[in-house]
């Protein structure tokens, strides 16, 4: 839609970004929705739903409209049937998830072909965020250290998914739309920060782009091999860094150790198979590489609070 592409160009101009290098690629974007809510100087919100007819990557430069702030992106990628996974070094996975990075960090934005990309992105000023968090800011100290380059990915909780749906489907005639968007954005940030406080404790170090790319290569490979875990030696060889450093960076970015993250992905996949493909519990367990179905059941119950059969009966489409 022409109007949405015009909105995209005006937003880039407001953020001090140039789209000149991808003008031809912009014509490949087919928008279902692009809603930009200006809550400056504290926040800016973008709700975006689109499909690209060809894969391309946009190298996003530092965003200077807010002097010190964070970019928080709530992402839910639906893979179009027959196209496989989204591609790119930091390819978006197909689980609902959130990414956090400082506004001064450059990043590659990937638009995969024939993949329905749905995102809600919040730019938020750091001091405003500190005031919102209050005395608990010290518990999330790494988010407010702008001297460090960090990159965090967190799974999206059910509470966040519900709020994202509300933001994406707000009727345009809502007479208090700006108040609604501000309120719901802060509520999203509240649930996100509540999740971050449950993370496995780890030291937070400066991360280079190469280190971020490496940890995503490992994560994407793990996700592509859910039926059979990679060995420690295979992961170390794949990453090109020593085991201790790999584990530290992985936990810093994803909030879980490698084995715990692998099992979390397997349980999310198990839930999807039980709900959407109507497979039996044993079929799902065997498909995901479990030879011991009792262990599969215990692990599933630990993640979802119900045994697989009861969960499946409760959540059938």
Tens of pLDDT, residues 249-308: 999 999 999 999 999 999 999 998 888 777 889 999 999 999 899 999 999 999 989 999
Domains, in order of start, for the chain: 2-196 (2.60.120), 210-314 (1.10.10.60)
Sign of CA dihedral 93, 149, 257, 100: negative
Which has the closest alpha carbon to 72: 103, 105, 49, 41? 103
Question: Has residue 87 got a pLDDT over 50?
Answer: no
Classify 25 as helix, strand or coil: helix
Classify 278 as helix, strand or coil: coil
Question: Quick one: how far is CA 296 from the chain centroid?
Answer: 26
Which has the closest alpha carbon to 151: 113, 102, 184? 102
Which has the closest alpha carbon to 70: 188, 199, 213? 188
Count Cβ neighbours within 10 Å for each residue of 168-190 and write b for 16 or more, e otherwise: bebeeeeeeeeeebbebbbbbbe
- This prediction has a pTM of 0.86
Instruction: Specify the DSSP class assigned to residue 256.
Output: S
Contact (Cβ atoms closer than 8 angstroms) between residue 118 and residue 78: yes
CA 284-271-52 angle, to 5 degrees, is 105
Give the pLDDT confidence score for residue 90 in this predicted structure: 43
Token code pair at residue 146: 């702008």
**Percentage of residues in the chain with pLDDT exceeding 90?**
46
Question: Has residue 166 got a pLDDT over 90?
Answer: no
pLDDT tens column, 122-161: 999 999 999 999 999 999 999 998 777 789 999 988 888 8
Contact (Cβ atoms closer than 8 angstroms) between residue 110 and residue 50: no
Give the pLDDT confidence score for residue 313 in this predicted structure: 85
Token code pair at residue 13: 């101009």
User: Residue 60 — very low, low, confident or very high, per pLDDT cuts 50/70/90?
Assistant: confident
Token code pair at residue 243: 């085991």
């Amino acid at each position: 839609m022409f109007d949405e592409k015009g909105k995209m160009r005006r937003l880039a101009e407001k953020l001090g970004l140039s789209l000149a290098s991808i003008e031809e690629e912009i014509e490949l974007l087919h928008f279902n929705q692009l809603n930009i809510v200006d809550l400056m100087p504290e926040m800016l919100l973008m709700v975006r739903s689109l499909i690209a007819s060809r894969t391309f990557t946009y190298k996003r430069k530092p965003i200077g409209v807010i002097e010190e702030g964070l970019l928080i992106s709530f992402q839910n990628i639906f893979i179009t049937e027959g196209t496989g996974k989204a591609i790119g070094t930091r390819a978006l996975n197909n689980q609902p998830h959130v990414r956090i990075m400082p506004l001064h960090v450059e990043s590659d934005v990937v638009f995969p072909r024939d993949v329905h990309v749905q995102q809600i992105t919040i730019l938020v000023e750091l001091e405003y965020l500190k005031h919102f968090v209050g005395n608990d800011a010290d518990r999330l100290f790494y988010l407010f250290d702008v001297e460090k380059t960090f990159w965090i990915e967190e799974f999206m909780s059910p509470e966040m998914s519900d709020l994202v749906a509300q933001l994406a489907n707000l009727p345009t005639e809502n007479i208090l739309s700006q108040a609604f968007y501000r309120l719901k954005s802060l509520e999203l940030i509240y649930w996100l920060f509540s999740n971050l406080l449950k993370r496995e404790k780890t030291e937070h170090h400066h991360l280079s782009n190469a280190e971020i790319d490496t940890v995503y290569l490992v994560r994407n490979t793990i996700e592509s091999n859910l039926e059979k875990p990679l060995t420690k030696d295979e992961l170390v060889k794949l990453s090109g860094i020593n085991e201790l450093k790999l584990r530290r960076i992985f936990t810093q970015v994803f909030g879980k150790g490698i084995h715990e993250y692998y099992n979390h992905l397997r349980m999310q996949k198990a839930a999807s198979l039980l709900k959407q493909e109507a497979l039996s519990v044993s079929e799902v367990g065997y498909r995901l590489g479990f030879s011991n179905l009792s262990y599969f059941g215990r692990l599933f119950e630990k993640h979802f609070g119900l045994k697989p059969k009861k969960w499946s009966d409760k959540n059938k489409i």
